[in-house]
Amino acid sequence: MKPPTKKLHSATSQTHLQRVRRICASLPGSTEKLSHGEPTFFVAKKVFCMFADDHHHDGHLAVWLPAPIGIQEMVIAASPEKKDRELDFLIRQAWRMIAPKKLQAALRSPGSGLDQKKTAKAQSAPRRRKN
């Protein structure tokens, strides 16, 4: 299946989109479709990544991700080189925030970039029924 596309504004945006697609496609259960006119990546019908190229003519090339409180400020303050190096990690963390636990189990291997101890601890904890 060919991923949805829209006309991109530059070779740079095309290069960045291909990188985001490659990272997202490597994650279990990831699908891509256009949403709000932008390439958007889903897991279990929930958005975990959106690539925005001049969205609403704002002049920005951006990747929108869910992130814990405080991460946005850290990423904005970081140098462009550091942001580029951390993109894979940030996308994987966004996927982990959204993906069902069963899909997360598929990435519990060395080098996955996910916090394996935290994931294993969360799954081994007994569930308690709410009354």
How much is the pLDDT for 125?
42
Looking at residue 74, the DSSP 8-state letter turns out to be H
Q: Which two tokens stand for residue 80?
A: 């462009």
Closest CA to 62 of 80, 43, 44, 47: 80
pTM as predicted: 0.70
Range with top average pLDDT, 6-15, 17-26, 81-90, 96-105: 17-26
Q: Report the pLDDT value the prediction gives residue 129, as an integer from 0 to 100.
A: 55
Name which of 33-42, 69-78, 107-116 the model is least confident about. 107-116
Q: Where do the domains of the chain lie?
A: 11-113
User: Sorting pLDDT into bands at 50, 70 and 90, what band is 9?
Assistant: low
